[in-house]
Amino acid sequence: MTSFSAVTNAYKGAWARRRVFVPIYFVVRLLLIALITPGLAIAANLAVSLSSQTALTDQDIAAFVLSPAGFLVAVAVLSLFLLAEVFVFSVMAGSLRMGESDPWRAGSAAIGLILTSLPALFGFAVRFVLRVLLLVLPFAAVSAVIAWWTLTEYDINYYLTFKPPSFWVAVVLIGAVLLVMAWVLIRRLSGWALSLHLVLFEQVRPAETFALSTERMEGKRGQLKIELAVWLIVRLLIATLIAWVAGVLFAIVPLQDSSNLRLALTYSLLIAGLWSLAGLVLAATALGALAVVLDRFFEIRTDEPPHPEPGSLRVPLFTAVGGAVVAVLIGLWFGQHLLEQVQAPDRAEVIGHRGAAALRPENTMAAVLKAIEDGADWVEIDVQETADDVVIVAHDSDFMKLAGVPTKIWDVTMEEVAEIDIGGWFDPEYAEERTPTLRDVLAAAKGNAKVIIELKYYGHDVDLENRVAALVEEFDMQDDIATMSLKYPAVQKMKKLRPDWRAGVLAATAIGDLSGLEGDFVAVNAAMATPGLVRSVQAAGKDIYVWTVNDPLQMSAMASMGVDGLITDRPAMANEVLRVRAEMGPGERLLLWLANAFGLSVDTEAMRDDSP
């Protein structure tokens, strides 16, 4: 039998058992929510408890993971995620071995087997993660050296935006390293292919499974590699076909061009629901096919029964179903809370990200004035210090992305700044735009809009906080500004310098309780925003802003969560979305939220840089 035939037969076999695989896959996934969430919470609490803060963000997380304790916590978290995948695959493999055609009996026995083997499975997961990390770390270190050698002369945003030759050198070299790493991993993983089966069906100790699996796979690894490659290709092709069909159906009635919003959303949600269902069936079938592929290479070599009797293990499936019911009840509760939110009045303020960066070159006076013209409540800008101690508005560490000039912000003088065109890249019309000072922005905003000042640090700041404070006080705008930073100590310093001023924490990632950090607000990546986070922050008496929200559906979804501010490159669009949304009924608002939850979006021009 050829490898292709073996894999296609595996998919056919898994499809024939879809009545078993699909329900089991769905129920076990729900059950894992109950099993994994507490472990993740414990790991997060442990990480936070080792610091003096209630939450860790961005740089703090990276520093923690690189510490000995953080590394152990990271391994434990990775093991939990791997354990979840091991659990799902184990149930599939167990139900396949039992040969039951009834989902209830197959699920009962398989879940019972896995629960009785849970300590051994966790031990296996930890060992697997450590072994993979030991294999990956040298290649990761080499890749990091290559990136440092090729991508650190200028600001990283320049490389990501323009992809100069050095960027492609890094891509090629790192790609070659990753290919070698993939070859090493596949070689090792093909030898470990039976290790999980040994834990489950022969009760081999986790520490012994890898060597024993490698021994049994001797002479079979080449065949397995080919079959796994074919299995993956088939899965990707099917997923691509499903996505293509869904895309064609979505394109029939584009959401943004429809005159009947309710009909368009209902149609889109129907397609999204079918797409999600097809994805679920594919995931279950593909995992079942993988179980069939690996099962062909495994022969039990013990007299011990491989699993308990199916009829005696209905309790585990009751537990699983109970977990599923709990998840559904949580979903209903969340739905009720969401319904309350979508009926509530909108409270979100509109915050122009670097001005109106979608319509004018970012962080220029043209962008600032456009944001004010478009009715932004706040204008958000980034500030740094020049070599001659002037606070200017600039996001990157240099001018490469905006002007192709490599000079660092901390090395440039205002005389040199006056020569650098930072608007011509956007449109020749703006070739006269120059980097504004904080003084320029405050003068334009006074009486027209409030200003959020993000303090940018690249290790060369001198007295940024005091200089910003002096300028704000000079314009008597203490009540019309707020400061924020990705660097939490800077937020603390600003609160100490000016306790009565608004200051907030900016976070792209976070673990722990953000609401417990010092400051008057938090600004988070929109992907982090959840109703629970919004409630906890607001319960602490603070505001929550989300960035960078440029899609109308996402704007409406964030408003439904109750966020206090939308940081957007399109202030006019945000104001229009909030205006139209205010005229909608709860049903239409809920449809908008669900459309965003299903991943739908309105086509808007992609931004070159949507970082904070």
What contacts 252, CB < 8 A, 6 or more positions away?
Answer: none
Distance CA(139)–CA(39), nearest Å, equals 29
Distance CA(101)–CA(53), nearest Å, equals 53
Count of Cβ atoms closer than 10 Å to residue 218 Cβ: 8
Cα separations (Å) of 98 from 95, 209, 309, 311, 470? Answer: 5, 22, 9, 12, 75
pLDDT (0 to 100) of residue 258: 46
pLDDT (0 to 100) of residue 103: 65
How is 203-219 classified by DSSP, letter by letter?
Answer: ---HHHHHHHHHHHTTT
C-alpha Rg value of the chain to the nearest Å: 28
Domain residue ranges in the chain: 3-333, 344-597
Provide the 8-state DSSP code for 404.
Answer: S
Burial code (b: 16+ CB inside 10 Å, e: under 16) for 552-573 equals bbbbbbbbbbbbbbbbbbbbbb
pLDDT (0 to 100) of residue 250: 72
Cα separations (Å) of 209 from 262, 270, 293, 294? Answer: 56, 46, 19, 15
| Total residues belonging to the chain | 612
pLDDT (0 to 100) of residue 60: 80
pLDDT (0 to 100) of residue 107: 66
pLDDT (0 to 100) of residue 213: 93
> Which residue has tokens 């060597």?
211
CA angle centred on 541, ends 539 and 543, rounded to 5°: 100
Contact 201, 97 (CB under 8 A): yes
pLDDT (0 to 100) of residue 260: 58
pLDDT (0 to 100) of residue 522: 95
Q: Which 3-state string (H, E, C) describes 149-198?
A: HHHCCCCHHHHHHHCCHHHHHHHHHHHHHHHHHHHHHHHHHHHCCCHHHH
Distance CA(444)–CA(454), nearest Å, equals 17
Instruction: Catalogue the E-assigned strands of 241-373.
Output: 349-353
Instruction: Classify domain 344-597 by CATH architecture.
Output: Alpha-Beta Barrel (3.20)
Burial code (b: 16+ CB inside 10 Å, e: under 16) for 319-339 equals bbbebbeebeeeeeeeeeebb
Contact 532, 562 (CB under 8 A): no
Q: Which residues of the chain have pLDDT under 50?
A: 258, 304-318, 320, 324, 328-329, 331-336, 339
Q: Which long-range contacts (CB under 8 A, 24 or more apart) does 79-82 make?
A: 79/122, 79/125, 79/126, 79/128, 79/129, 80/36, 80/39, 80/40, 80/43, 80/125, 81/36, 82/125, 82/128, 82/129
Contact 558, 529 (CB under 8 A): yes
H helix count then E strand count, the chain: 23, 13
- 302's torsion region: left (phi>0), alpha (psi -120 to 50) or beta? beta
Amino acid at 133: L
